[in-house]
Amino acid sequence: MKPPVPSDEPQRLAHLRSYAILDTEPEQGFDDLVQLAAHLFGAPMAFVSLIDAERQWFKAKVGIEACETSRDVAFCAHAIVERQPLVVPDARLDPRFAANELVTGAPHIRFYAGAPLIVGNGSALGTLCVVDTVPRTPSSDALRMLQKLAAMVVDRLELRRKLEELRVALAARDEADAARERTVAELKAALDRVRQLEGLLPICSGCRQIRDDQGSWRALEHYLVARGAARFTHSICPTCVQVLYPDLNGG
């Protein structure tokens, strides 16, 4: 039987993708929880299963080589519409699963118990499940422990997302800091160029007047006096004496 679709399916899928976890590498924290669930039930198979639009993908797994299956054959696709663990004591006797290819063929599922991974907005992203090849009826205590382990999987999902958000925020901060440093360096270089230009005096090549900050042309001595750079006394150089007073040179 084809699994039902949760009433919040669009929001559920959007929330699943917000965790950026699909198709990521194995992580020890999830692997440890799957192994603990398998040990708790004495089951040969256990998974952290996430239900995508068309597939079931395993973030962590014990006892199976496949990384994903079609959603249509996924027991966990049935479990995500429940609030409590879905328990199938013998899949051959359950009309939802009797003809399922995972029951009639490898891995020959008989027993299944899956606790939904319910996140903050109420969506179930997948399950923590245990699977056996023989029929079983789990105790209520075992199912409560499965739910607690599922809650720990959700906690790890949330921690993983927060760490990723922090990594992105730190990378953005580092980039902003680098951009500020580049801006400061560019402004410093521009200021150095301005200071260099300030040291250049526009001087007329003909009359030798200086252009001041207001664009007026002034005699050199007036320019320097106005800027407080110097005071002048008058004298005459030997060259000018020869030009202006040649009679003095002959005398």
CATH of the domain at 67: 3.30.450.40
d(CA 112, CA 93): 12
Q: Report the pLDDT averaged over residues 183-188.
A: 81
* pLDDT for residue 123: 93
* pLDDT for residue 175: 82
Q: Are residues 104 and 33 in the same domain?
A: yes
Q: Are residues 90 and 211 in the same domain?
A: no
Q: Are residues 211 and 121 in the same domain?
A: no
What letter represents residue 119's amino acid?
V
* pLDDT for residue 184: 81
Kindly list the distances between the CA atom of residue 188 and the CA atoms of 14, 148, 156, 176, 183, in Å, as whole numbers in the listed order: 47, 59, 47, 18, 9
pLDDT band at 199 (very low <50, low <70, confident <90, very high): low
* pLDDT for residue 27: 95
Last residue of a domain, one of 106, 138, 163: 163
Q: Are residues 38 and 123 in the same domain?
A: yes
**The domain containing residue 146 runs over which residues?**
9-163
Contact 59, 48 (CB under 8 A): yes
Question: What are residue 198's phi and psi, to 5 degrees?
Answer: -65, -25
Q: Report the pLDDT averaged over residues 12-31.
A: 95
pLDDT band at 154 (very low <50, low <70, confident <90, very high): very high
- Asked if the model's pLDDT at residue 131 lies above 70, the reply is yes
Mean model confidence pLDDT for the chain: 88
Kindly list the distances between the CA atom of residue 222 and the CA atoms of 129, 154, 214, 218, 235, in Å, as whole numbers in the listed order: 94, 82, 14, 6, 16
154: nearest Cα among 185, 107, 119: 119
83-122 in b/e burial notation, b at 16+ Cβ within 10 A? Answer: eebbbbebbeebeebeebebbeeebebbbbbbbbbbbeee
If one counts every other C-beta atom within 10 angstroms of the C-beta of residue 129, the result is 28
If one counts every other C-beta atom within 10 angstroms of the C-beta of residue 194, the result is 9
* pLDDT for residue 194: 60
- Answer yes or no: is 145 within a domain: yes
Q: How many CA atoms lie within 13 A of 173 on its CB side?
A: 6
Q: Report the pLDDT averaged over residues 205-218.
A: 74
Q: How many domains does the chain have?
A: 2
Q: How many CA atoms lie within 13 A of 231 on its CB side?
A: 0
* pLDDT for residue 48: 98
Last residue of a domain, one of 143, 163, 183: 163
- Asked if the model's pLDDT at residue 151 lies above 80, the reply is yes
What letter represents residue 56's amino acid?
Q
Q: Are residues 22 and 70 in the same domain?
A: yes
Kindly list the distances between the CA atom of residue 56 and the CA atoms of 11, 97, 143, 156, 247, in Å, as whole numbers in the listed order: 17, 16, 22, 19, 114
Last residue of a domain, one of 107, 139, 163: 163
Q: Are residues 16 and 115 in the same domain?
A: yes
Highest mean pLDDT out of 1-5, 220-224, 239-243: 1-5
- Answer yes or no: is 189 within a domain: no
Contact 122, 8 (CB under 8 A): yes
- pTM as predicted: 0.69
